Each structure stands twice: as C-alpha cells, then as structure tokens.
Amino acid sequence: MKNEIFLKKLKQAIARYDLLGKGDKVLVAVSGGPDSVALLYALWEIRDEFNLDICVAHLNHKLRGRESEEDEKFVKNLASKLNLKFFSKSIDVKKEAKKKKLSLEEGARLVRYRYLENLADRIKADKIALGHQADDQAETFLMRLLRGAGGVGLSGIPPKRGKIIRPLIETRREEIEKFLKEKGQSYRTDSSNLLPNYFRNKIRLLLLPMIKKKFNPKIVEVLNRTSNIISFQQQYVEKNSEEILRLLCKTKKMVRLRSPQKDKIVLDLKRFINYDISLKREMIRLCVKELNRDSTELSFDSIERILDLIQKEKSGRKVKLIRNTWAEVSGENLAIYIEKKKKHAYPISLPGEKYLRNLGMRIKSEIVSRSSLPEEIKSKGEEVAFLDWEKLKGPFNLRSRKPKDKFKPLGMQGTKSVADFLIDRKVPRYERDEVMLLTTREKIAWIVGYRISDEFKVTDKTKKVLNMEVTFNEI
C-alpha cells in the first residue's frame, strides 16, 4: 500500500509538470545512491502504464577509487536484474575540473550533464531522468540564497528542462528510503556525502538539521513551496521581458534576439528606461544569457552598475559583465555585446562582389564611365562610394582597423586618425572594431559605410569610376 502512495506521488509530479509521454524512451541516470535507485525502480514499475523504453546510464567520476568501481558494478548488476540496457563511462572529473578552472562540484556537474546529453542523442532517448528530490531542492535554495542569487537561482531545480526530467522533485528523502526498504532493495552510500567539507554537505548536515530542530521542523516543505512560487513568478517576468525585448531590439534581422554576427544586442534606450526595474534587470540578464549561451547567472552588482550608467546618462561608458561580455550606454542605445579580439583581413578582387557572411556584409562593385554619372557626385562613402579607378592599385584588401591607422577624409586638407574620425562621428565603442577598411597598397581608400579618402575622390579629370555599394546584416 505504501509503495502505491509513493508511486501515486510520482505520477502526480509527472502529470503536473508533463514529464513523460506515452512510448517515451527514457535514459535513467543511476549513481547507485538511494534517489537514483528509487527513481529507476519507480519508472520500471510504471513502465507498462506509460509504455516506456528504459535504459540505464552510469558515470564513474573516478573520485573515490575502489568505491567508484564498486558503484559502477552495483548499477550494472541492477540494470541486468531488471533486464535493462546499461551504458557507462569513466571520466577523471578532478582532471577535467582543473583543466576548465572549475570547482570539483561544478566540474562534476558539467561532465555529468555533457555525458548524459551526448548519450541521449546517440541512443535517441526522448527523456533523461534524474533523481533530484525535495530535500535536494531545499538544499539548493539555501545554497543559492546564501550566495546572493536572484529570481533565477531561487527558482531552484526545474522539474523539466529540455530532455531532462526530475519525477522525484516533490518526494522527500525519507519517503525514498522507506520505498526502498519496503522493496528490500539496497543502495550505495557515497562516503563523501557524510563529511561537511563541501558547501552542499554543510547545508545538508549542519544548517538544515539545526533549522528543523530550533525553528521549523517543516523547513524542507517551506523552502520547496517558496522555490515553487518564485519559479512561477520568474517565468512570468521572463516571458514578459522576452516580448518587450523584441520591441526594443534595434539589431536588424535577429536570430531570436541576436544579430547575424551573434555578438551584440542593441536596445532602444529611451524606451528601455520607462519599464519597471524588475523588467529592466530581467532584460539585461536575458541578453547576456542569449549572447553567452550558458547558464551563468549575472551578478546583481553588474546589473546595478548598468542601471546606474543609464540613470546618470553616462554616454560612452561601459561595464564588464562576465568574461568578455560588456554593456555600453551610447546616445540612444544600450548595447550588450561580446568584445572582439580577433581582427579580420580579406583579399578582395575589384570590380566584383564579396560576401562576408561572418560580418553580415556584402560589397558589390563595377567600373563605370565618368560621363555616365551626374556631374556632381554627392556620395561621401556611406552605403555607396565612388572612387577614381585610375588612382587605385591592387592588391586590394578589406581589413579591420589598426591603432595607428590614418587617412584623409573627403573634404579635409590634412589627415586624421581613423579612431578620432569614428569618435567624432559618435560611432559607439562596440561598433568601432567592426568597421572595415578598403585598402589599396596599404592606403585607406574607404572606411566602409562611413567616408572615402579625399585622395581617391572623383574629379573632373577622372575617366573611369569604381562604383561600390555595401549592404549590411544580410543572412
């Protein structure tokens, strides 16, 4: 009867969060501990009801020597006992974490998810089932609260994310242990979980028992409920923020929120500042997440520094967010961008056509007779440039600017540094390194999209004209 209560609670979670579909192929991650063993047995018992195809995966972290080897052997025997396919892999997690400069805990997590997701893709599994339960959720909430997490962090462990499902997320640890005891099923105990040497272990072994004893014996239920409430609120704010971002984003032809270069998001600053602060914070977080494509949570201080720049109207100032990701306030724009270090150089044949996909730029050129053009050519070299063909000598190149680049802007007597020219034109910092120069034997003929050099302008003596046209943000 008690087993039926356990399974009923499991199926309620499956229904509430839409975790399983009929006929799903489920890859169950089994460490050998009580949570994952109970999850495997529970799914095995409801397999006919859902027509499940169950497989077992085990990752040997190689952290505990012989114990790790015994864990793998235990899980393999368990899969064999249930007549299920078994997959395993050994990875030196300590070595991987050191290589990526991560803590052992974070390194183990990264390796584990990468292994499971790759395996699921290979065997065409519909779902990856993990054994996280209600006590894990409470521990995670406290860990993130103590580290100063925001709404995303305090939302806790999601019951479902992509292929990953957590059917035991509403089940207590004591319920899991009772379920296994009634079934007479043993499990492995990770000795590293018994010592308060990791942050999570300290929460589990010291802080939570103290709160239960002295403040609230139902603290696990309280923390799970709080996390659940925050999760739904966070989903609402995130959904609204995504919709607003699509209205505010000025980057052309976005892929979701991004430009074709996938390195910057430019927002309409005048409209952005009118929204509630909670939405502004969430929009900034979403932009950073979209550009970096990882789960890194932006610090509260970083977001506040951006909002401070906006409030004080400090145009031209920038703030570092994470790694090489920056935010800059410039004129009427707020840009979140990845700072580029790589410089570009491309040989180009003239006349002709050059398509630079990674820059979202296409340049077309042709030679025309001076007599076929209007007597007064007004183009300064923005989208269209007219250059004296007979003054141009190959080889021709399109390249990024260099620190000491100088040229003679059309209409000026002397030379000017390219950097000063772009600053005078109020070109935002995040766009300056994207500017490309057309060079002829190392002389700058055209700052593409901005200005031609006076040295190569069309005059009354010009006979042949190189007519060039640039289009940006083509996909």
What gap in Å lies between CA 111 and CA 59, rounded to an integer? Answer: 9
The CATH code belonging to domain 2-228 is 3.40.50.620
The pLDDT value recorded for residue 1 is 52
Which pLDDT value is given to residue 473? 67
Domain ranges of the chain: 2-228, 249-338, 345-472
Query: In sequence order, what E strands does 4-100 have?
Result: 25-29, 53-60, 85-90
CB atoms within 10 A of CB 46: 15
State the DSSP H helix or E strand holding residue 111, giving kind and residue range, or none if neither: helix 104-123
Among 388, 353, 381, CA closest to 464: 388
Q: What is the pLDDT of residue 427?
A: 84
Please state which CATH number belongs to domain 345-472: 3.50.40.10
Which is nearest to 57 in space by CA: 34, 35, 81, 89?
89
| Cα–Cα nearest to 446, from 374, 350, 368 | 350
Q: DSSP E strands: which ranges in 199-311? A: 264-268
Confidence at residue 297, expressed as pLDDT on a 0 to 100 scale: 66
Q: What is the rounded CA–CA span in Å between residue 460 and residue 120?
A: 70
Question: Nearest CA to 401 among 464, 316, 344?
Answer: 344
Contact 62, 95 (CB under 8 A): no
Q: Specify the CATH architecture of the domain 249-338.
A: 2-Layer Sandwich (3.30)
Q: Are strands 396-400 and 436-440 parallel, antiparallel or unpaired?
A: antiparallel
User: In this predicted structure, what is the pLDDT of residue 258?
Assistant: 35
End-to-end CA distance of the chain: 61
pLDDT in the model for residue 260? 41
Give residue for tokens 């901005």. 450
Give the pLDDT confidence score for residue 314 in this predicted structure. Answer: 63
CA 206/CA 212 separation, integer angstroms: 10
Q: For each of the chain's 475 residues, which pLDDT tens digit applies?
A: 557 889 999 999 999 999 999 999 999 999 999 999 999 999 999 999 999 999 999 999 887 778 889 999 999 999 999 999 999 999 888 888 888 777 787 888 889 999 999 999 999 999 999 999 999 999 999 999 998 888 888 999 999 999 999 999 999 999 999 999 999 999 998 877 777 778 889 999 999 999 999 999 999 999 999 999 999 999 999 999 999 999 998 864 333 333 444 688 999 999 999 999 999 999 999 998 888 865 456 778 888 888 888 887 666 688 888 878 888 888 888 989 887 766 788 888 889 888 887 777 888 999 989 888 877 776 777 888 999 999 998 889 989 888 889 999 988 888 999 999 998 888 888 788 788 899 998 899 999 989 999 999 988 888 998 999 988 765 4
At residue 348, the pLDDT reads 87
The one-letter amino acid at 215: F
